[in-house]
Structures are given as C-alpha cells and as structure tokens.
Chains A and B, each alone.
Chain A
Amino acid sequence: MSTNASALRHARYVLGENPVTAFAFGLFVLIVLAAILGPSVVPYDPLASNTSRALQAPSAQHWFGTDQLGRDIFSRVIVATRLDLFIAIASVALVFMLGGLSGVAAGYFGGWVDKVVMRIADTIMAFPLFVLAMGIVAALGNSVQNIILATAIVNFPLYARVARSEANIRREAGYIEAARLSGNGDARIVLTQILPNIIPILVVQMSLTMGYAILNAAGLSFIGLGVRPPTPEWGIMVAEGAAFMVSGEWWIAFFPGLALMLAVFCFNLLGDGLRDIVDPRRRT
C-alpha cells in the first residue's frame, strides 16, 4: 500500500516538476474525451455531404472548413479520434500480449524458448518495417483489424526484447527463488511474480508505441491501404487533402494532420513522463 502512495507522490512531483509532461497529460485527457464524447457533440454529421458548401475555408460555421464533398472537417477530425485511438490501443494491447508474454517466457525459461522468440524478433527486425506492415495489410486486405495486426507485428521485437531482458534480470532474484522454493510452478511465478513487476516498464513502451501505431496507420492510408471510405480517419484525411494543398485548400490536410501530430506528440511526451515516474534513474 505504502509503495502505491509513494508512487503517487512521486508522480505528482514529476508532473509538478515537468510542465511538459503535465501539458501532455492534459492533452491526453482531451483526446480521450474527444474519443468518448466526440460523435455526440460534433456540430455536423461527419458523413453527410453537402456539395453546395464544398471546399469552404475555415469560418465561424465550419471551424476547420469543409472538404471536397462539403463535409465538415471539424466534425470529421473529432469523430476520427475514436477510431485512431482504438487502432493505437488495440495494436498496442495486442503486441503487449504477444511480445510481452513471449519475451517474458524467453527471459525466464531461456533455452530453446529464448532462441525461438529471439529468432522471430530478429527476423522481423531485419525487414524494412513499413514495407512489412504494407505487405501484411495488402495481403490480408485493408480493414481495421489487419492494420492493427500489422502494427502489432512490426512492434513485436521491441516488446519481446524489453520484456526478455527485464525477466532475465529478475529470474535469479531472491523473491523469485523464494517463490520457487515454496513450491510455485513456473507458470504461476511468471504470471504472479515476474509479469506484474515488469508491467510498468512495458507501459512506458506502450505509450511510446501508441504514437508510432497512429503514424503507421496514417502512412498506410497515405498509400491507399487505409480504412474503408467514408469512415473518417486522420491519415486518410491528410492523404486526400494533400491533393488540394497546391490549389490553396490547405485546411483539408492541415487540420487532420495537426490532430494526428498532437496525438502522437501527446503519447510520446507521456511516454517520457511515465518513464520518469517508473524509473527516475533512466530519465533522458
């Protein structure tokens, strides 16, 4: 109990000390709110076209302007938050399960388990990662599930390695030895002793890779492998708006791009902040 309290105190200290992290935290709350409440508070139907109001510049009526089909960009940007956040969270959760668990297993058991997991991680690392993600989505079809899967796969080595080295260090620790001597099975030790102890470190990774997941999905959208139209999604909106930039309609790509950047920015800063909380010595 007291460790929790001190961690909280430490967190408050870090937030107070580091205004940037506090800012990121505020941004995060905003993003989560947009994801939860977005669809019910936006001024326009994000899917409804209105060709008589197409390509209008930002105004009091349309804060972020309208796109080619007269859809309200502000509404689309806000509504897209949920999907983008979902892609990020789902892919990170998936890689946490796949990479985290197999990494822990590799670190704890060593031997052939370690060899297999590390060979898989090395193989993935040897791929140009974006092209691997592209290939997976192109081969399996462009749907939200496959974008999530592809993003998870390319992040696998990162998680597996971090989890492995952390598990490896703890394997010989006294409290693990004690648990083993008191007759606990390996599976039980991994799940109850090792995993809970390395979760904080993986959570830092998760925050950092959330940003990467969003960028990855946006990159896939840019080359045409994104979600199904007319679903609003930041990356696809930037990609479609890019064509209008030269003719002066900068707002179509700019605002979704800004949202994309802010979200990734927020996750990255948050990841840094979390790292400070979890492991003050590693602060960079």
Chain B
Amino acid sequence: MFSLIFNRLMLAIPSLIGVVIVTFLLTRALPGDPAAYFAGPAATEQAIAEIRAKLGTDKPLIVQFGRYVSDLARGELGNSLTTGQSVAKEIATRLPASAELTLIGLMLVVILAVPMGILAATRPGSWIDHVTRIVSTAGVSLPVFFTGLLLVYVFYYRLGLSPSPVGRLDVFLSAPPHITGFYLIDAALARDAEVFVAALKQLILPALTLAIFALAPIARMTRASMLAVLSADFVRTARASGLSSSKVIVTYAFRNAVLPVITTLGMVLSFLLGANVLVEKVFAWPGIGSFAVEALIASDYAPVQGFVLTMAALYVALNLAIDIAYGLIDPRVRISS
C-alpha cells in the first residue's frame, strides 16, 4: 500500500512542476500591467515604475520565476492585490466554503442519480430508462450559470422559498466559531441549530445547481454497472433461489456494482470543483473559484497561481484517495498493483 502511494506521488511530481511553469507563464502573458492598475487613477509613468519595482515585475521573466519558485519552496504564495490579503490565508479561509458546497452537491447527486441509475437498469429500454437518460443529459446540457440564475429567479425572487443569495449565511447571523471551516459541522459542534439550518438553506440552491450538472455521469455509470452485474451468474442464482427482487437488487447487485460508481464519483468531484467557479459567482459564494476569476480579470498573478496550484494538489490527492479506496473495497486491485 505504501509503495503504491509513493509511486503515485512520484508520478504526480512532473505534472505539478508542469502546472507551476505553465501557470507562471500564463499569468505573465495576461494583458495589462498590475502596476498601472494599482498605481491609482492619476498615475504618472514614474509612479507606475515605482510600483513595478515594488512588485518586482520590472525584472526579467526568469528572475521573477526564480523568485516565485523560492517563495513557493518556503510556502509563500504571495499577496493578492485585489483583496490586499496573503494568498495562503485567503485560500485557507475560502477553501472550506468551496469544499462544503461541492461535497453537499455531490451528496445531492448521489441521492438523486444512484436510484435513477438503478431504476433505469432494472427496466432497460422502458420509458423510465428513456426519461432518466433525457433528464440527466438535459442537466449536463445546461450551462451552470444559467441553471443557477434560473433557480434564484424562481425560488428566491418569484416564490420566496429560499433565502437571499448572499453567500454562506444569512446576513444577520454570524458564523459559528471556526473549527473546521465547514459551517454545517461547526454549527453542529457549537450546538447552534439556528445557524445550522440557515447555513443549510444557503447551501441548497448552489448545491442543487452543481448536482443537476453532475447527474449524467453518475446515473449512467450506475446504470451500466448495474446492467453488467444483473446479468451475472450469481444474481441469477440469487433470483432463482427465490429471493425478493428488491433484496437481490440492493444487497447482491448494487454492492457489486458500486466500485465503478465510486471511481466516477472521484472524477465528478474534481470536475465539480472546476464547475464551482461560475456557480460561486452567481451565488456570491465566498469560495476559491470566485476568488480566482476576479483575480484573473484583474491580472492579479498571485491568487491565480495559488488557486491553480491548490487545485492541482487537490486533484492529485483526490486521485490517490480513489486508488486507495478502490484497493480497500476490492482486494484484487491491491494485489495486481
């Protein structure tokens, strides 16, 4: 197991180096000079040059890169010019917001898509199969920002069922004491029911937006995997020995079909972390995605670099976790690797 982890990490290193280099070059190629942007409205050439020197952007690219890498080695991600804060601190406070949203979205997907997939697999070719396919494909066909806007319009503005889209918590409540950064968990630990409910209410619409987008892969994979298992011999045997159909499906078939679904889940999770960017923008969610977009538009290098690097590290960690989970669920995988 440890050699597996070690090998996977070794394999990830070249990608991470690639990410660092590409991000650096990409941010430097952004139009606009942050110095001119931050020098204020009445900037003279001299004032801009002063700020450029302060930021170090007057040095040749290779020198800037060297400085960036040595900062990185010391865990220093730099300062965001737009929010004025250190990028490491920003990411540390914003990552739980994004992660909480994504995980709730993922839970919603599982709750919706897995039964859909199972239903479709038990009656392939029926209307329920077609409806499942159409609904899940329609979900992935909607641009997330459009789904989000539509949901806000209908549920907040028209029906008044959901709270105002102002971020993680109703304005007149204060955040629970910081323990994990996940408001639901922190509120539960603090035994603050009011905050817990309020935080959950804020989460529903954005999480649903993400879930609608991610229905398709999970529903499809569940269906395919169930189809394969249902035609297997041991399921036929179980059926033949007179077990009820629901028992066969839930205890025998689904347990064996779950593995590919978990793999897909991992893929969907990293995919959702990316789709977050636009959802966060629509719902004023104080996550890292919206932070990165604002920074990119403002040619603010440090947050973009920090964001991409964090996401890349998460991606590597996530894939590793999936491999390990896979190994734990199915011992055969462990042996073959």
Please determine if A and B sit in direct contact within the complex, based on CB atoms under 8 angstroms apart.
Answer: yes
Binding site for B on A (CB under 8 A): 17, 19-20, 119-120, 122-123, 125-132, 134-136, 138-141, 211, 215, 218-219, 222-224, 235, 238-239, 242, 245-246, 250, 253, 257, 260-262, 264-265, 268-269, 272, 284
7 tightest A-B CB contacts, nearest first? A123-B18, A284-B224, A264-B141, A139-B29, A265-B141, A126-B312, A128-B311
Q: Is there a chain A Cβ closer than 8 Å to B273's Cβ?
A: yes
B26 at interface, CB cutoff 8 A: yes
Complex CA–CA separation, A242 to B146 (angstroms): 8
Tell me whether B31 and A141 are in contact (CB under 8 A).
yes
Residues of B within 8 A of A127 (CB): 19, 22-23, 308, 311-312
In the assembled complex, the CB of B13 is this many whole angstroms from the nearest CB of chain A, namely 11
- CB contact between A123 and one of B15, B275, B297 (< 8 Å): that residue: B15
Q: Chain B: interface residue count, which band? A: 35 or more
Binds A, one of B59-67, B77-85, B130-138, B179-187: B130-138
User: Which chain B residues lie closer than 8 Å to A253 at the CB level?
Assistant: 146, 149
B223 CB-CB contact with A under 8 Å: yes
Q: How far is the CA of A128 from the CA of B27 in the complex (A)?
A: 15
Chain A: minimal CB distance from B59 (Å):
20
A117, chain B: closest CB distance, angstroms: 13
Q: A219-B143, A219-B278, A222-B143 are in contact. Are A131 and B149 (CB under 8 A)?
A: no
B271 to chain A, nearest CB (A): 8
A-B CB contact pairs (8 Å), 28 listed: A125-B315, A126-B311, A127-B22, A127-B23, A127-B312, A128-B273, A128-B289, A130-B277, A131-B274, A131-B293, A131-B296, A131-B308, A132-B26, A138-B296, A139-B26, A139-B30, A211-B140, A218-B143, A219-B145, A222-B278, A223-B278, A239-B145, A242-B149, A257-B146, A260-B143, A264-B141, A284-B221, A284-B224
Q: How many A-B residue pairs have CB under 8 A?
A: 147
Q: Are B141 and A134 in contact (CB under 8 A)?
A: no
Taking the closest CB of chain B, its distance from the CB of A36, in whole angstroms, is: 23
- List residues of chain A with CB within 8 A of the CB of B19: 123, 126-127
Q: List A contacts of B315 (CB < 8 A).
A: 125-126
CA distance A246 to B308 in the complex (A): 34
List of A residues within 8 angstroms of B292 by Cβ: 128, 131
Q: What's the Cα separation between A190 and B303 when bound, in Å?
A: 44
Which chain A residue lies CB-closest to B223? A284
Residue numbers in B under 8 Å from A119 (CB-CB)? 14-15, 18
Main secondary structure of the interface of B (DSSP, over half): helix
| A135, B141: Cβ atoms closer than 8 Å | no
In the assembled complex, how far is the CB of residue B297 from the closest CB belonging to chain A, in whole angstroms? 7
B220 touches A (CB below 8 Å)? yes
Chain B residues numbered 200-227 whose CB sits less than 8 Å from any CB in chain A: 216, 220-221, 223-224, 227
- The chain B residues found within 8 Å of chain A, CB to CB, are 11-12, 14-16, 18-19, 22-23, 26-27, 29-31, 125, 130, 133-134, 137-138, 140-146, 149-150, 153, 157, 216, 220-221, 223-224, 227, 273-275, 277-278, 281, 289, 292-293, 296-297, 304, 307-308, 311-312, 315-316
Given contacts A123-B19, A126-B15, A131-B292, contact A238 B143 (CB under 8 A): yes
Beta-carbon nearest neighbor of B22 in chain A: A123
With a CB–CB cut-off of 8 A, which chain B residues contact A272? 133, 137
B32 CB to nearest A CB, Å: 9
CA of A127 to CA of B316, assembled, Å = 10
Residues on A with beta carbons closer than 8 Å to the beta carbon of B144: 219
CB B91 to nearest CB in A, in angstroms, measures: 13
Complex alpha-carbon distance, A127 and B315, angstroms: 8
CB distance from B262 to the nearest CB of A (A): 17
Chain A residue nearest to B125 in the complex (CB): A17
4 A-B pairs besides A246-B153, A268-B216 with CB distance below 8 A are A122-B15, A123-B19, A223-B297, A261-B143
Of A132, A140, A284, most buried by chain B (CB within 10 Å of CB) is A284
User: Which of chain A's residues has its CB closest to B144's CB?
Assistant: A219
Set A134, A211, A257, A284: member contacting B293, Cβ < 8 A:
A134
Question: Quick check: A257 and B143 within 8 Å, CB to CB?
Answer: yes
A127 to B25, CA, bound (A): 14
- Given B227, B293, B316, which contacts A126 in the complex, CB threshold below 8 Å? B316
Residues of A within 8 A of B308 (CB): 127-128, 131-132
Docked CA distance A135–B303 (Å):
13
Q: How far is the CB of B316 from chain A (nearest CB, A)?
A: 7
Q: Which residues of A contact B146 (CB under 8 A)?
A: 218, 238, 242, 253, 257, 260-261
